[in-house]
Structure 1
Amino acid sequence: MRSATHTSLAGRLNTLTVDGGVDGDGAVLRPRGDLVHGCADTLARSLARLPDGVHRVDLDMSGVAFMDTAGLQFLEVLDTWARRRRARVSATGWTEQPRRVLETAGLDPDDPLHGPGTRRETVPSVVVLERTQQLDKLRTEVEQLRRAIASRPVIDQARGVLMATHACSPDQAWDVLREASQLSNTKLRTVAAVVAAGAGGGGPVPSPELRRALRTAIDRCLN
């Protein structure tokens, strides 16, 4: 069984597919692609195709490398289906960026459907406000990631420069670029272009604010 949706992310065609199989009263579904606009509908179609005798569904999320807030709707569809069918469901194996989204939304990335943050009791207004602020921050980060994907070649070059210069990991290099972008209020692509061009000499001279931001980001992320 397979369902799919096509979405445009930063000018590129990305496809979410959901493959899987049924074994007795259980099913395993394997989403592959990005959890962006349309992903909830794709999951709903896959769940609708399951036989009536299925009472357990396990989602292997290891094939999803990127999600924005539409991924929360994806989980709501799964939770609603489980309650309606009185079935047991799980969604495990989340990769790094989706895990950060779940954490920011106040969910347990190891068990976002049943762990802390999923209880439906009334919560104090201060908690609601905090969650709203977290989601606003998340939306900003997701938009930065979208722009980063569009600018990936120059960002990859900049990460390579930082990795070679500071003997750091790809993730640490990414953190430096993002931190410097936020601290200096400079577009991530611009920060990456300055770092990449600077390695060859003769590149654009960064502003004093960006130089300070890069030094601070390196100190915070690499030390």
Structure 2
Amino acid sequence: MVVEVRVSGGRAELRPRGELVHGCARTLADTLGELPDGVREIELDMSGVHFMDTAGLGFLDLLDDHRHRHGVPVRTAHWQGQPRRILELAGLDTEEPLRSAAHGGAGPAGPPPRTTSAVALERAERLRMLREEIAQLRQAIASRPVIDQARGMLMAAHGCTSQEAWTILRETSQLSNTKLRTVAAMVTAGAGSEGTPLPDDIRSALRTALFHHRS
């Protein structure tokens, strides 16, 4: 991730770009530390962040800590796509997550032990959901190239459209009870005269899916 900085008068505008993952909090800390004296307001435009994992929550903690230690208003804006979804799962305000953090703590005396336990359990469940969704997204990103390649091969071999090739792969996956990425990898490996033959169950399922396409 890189952070573009623009300072005008007493206002600093920071524009993170890329993925908000492990190590990005250090980049942000360095950026905040290099801001000139006299900055009285900080705003982060998050529209350039297209992926965020649970490290993004540490990123927010750092911002919150900075505003408390320096007495400088800090806000974020323009959360979009997957990072916005992470905020939703974490139970944070998607327009201004720092506002959620500021008002999410307990009062001076603290809540009763039972309430603390309930909050802890809720946060643990949200964190589990965050990690699960991020893992699924990473798997989808890793699977996309081989799936796209298999779609291209089906389009060339059977004269179908990209959407039809996708439907054929998905139906083959369902009929053979095999993961879509595995089916795509087998179709790709089986291409050409010296390719690896498809297993019987995959070949049968693919034949059925192609028959449905042609019907």
- Aligning the two structures, in what range does the TM-score lie when normalised by the shorter sequence? 0.5 to 0.7
The residue that corresponds to 1:48 in the other structure is 33
Deviation at residue 39 of structure 1 after TM alignment: 0.5
- Residue 7 (structure 2) aligned to one of 22, 31, 36: 22
Corresponding residue number in structure 2 for 1:164:
163
1:203–1:113 distance in 2 versus 1, CA, 3 Å: farther
Aligned residue in 2 for 1:119: 104
**Structure 1 residues 51 and 83: alpha-carbon distance in aligned structure 2, compared to 1, 3 A threshold:** same
Aligned to 2:88: 103
Superposition deviation, residue 146 in structure 1: 2.2
SS for the counterpart of 2:38 is coil
Per the alignment, residue 79 of structure 1 pairs with 64
Q: 1:50 to 1:116 in 2, by over 3 A?
A: closer
Give the structure with higher Rg (CA): 2
- Deviation per CA, 1:118-168: give whole Å up to 9, x if none: 52114542232122112112112212222332333134468999982499x
SS in 2 for 1:109: coil
Equivalent position of 1:151 in the other structure = 143
Kindly indicate whether residue 68 of structure 2 is the aligned counterpart of residue 69 of structure 1.
Answer: no
How many Å separate the matches in 2 of 1:111 and 1:40?
18
Identity %: 53
Q: Deviations over 1:89-134 (max 9, x none)?
A: 1111112111111111111111111148852114542232122112
State the superposition RMSD in angstroms.
Answer: 3.8
Q: Distance in 2 between the 1:137 and 1:195 partners?
A: 33
In the alignment, the residues of structure 2 paired with residue 192 and residue 103 of structure 1 have an alpha-carbon distance, to the nearest angstrom, of 33
- Structure 2 unpaired stretches of 5+: 156-160, 190-196, 203-215
Q: Distance in 2 between matches of 1:114 and 1:144?
A: 29
Counterpart amino acid of 2:163? A
TM-score w.r.t. the length of structure 1 is 0.65
Structure 2 residue 17 is the aligned partner of structure 1 residue 32? yes
Match of 1:189 among 181, 198, 213: 181
Aligned residue for 1:59? Answer: 44
CA distance in 2, matches of 1:82, 1:145: 32
**Partner letter of residue 145 of structure 1?**
L
Question: Which whole-Å CA distance do the structure 2 matches of 1:132 and 1:92 have between them?
Answer: 26
Q: Deviation at 1:20?
A: 1.3
Distance (Å, rounded) in 1 between the aligned partners of 2:133 and 2:188? 22
Amino acid at match of 2:69: R
The correspondence for 2:125, drawn from 130, 133, 153, is 133
User: Do the aligned partners of 1:57 and 1:88 also contact (CA within 8 Å) in 2?
Assistant: yes
Find the counterpart in structure 2 of residue 5 from structure 1.
none
How far apart in 2 are the matches of 1:117 and 1:54? 21
Q: Give the whole-Å Cα distance in 2 for the aligned partners of 1:191 and 1:131.
A: 37
Contact kept? 2:151, 2:165, Cα under 8 Å:
no
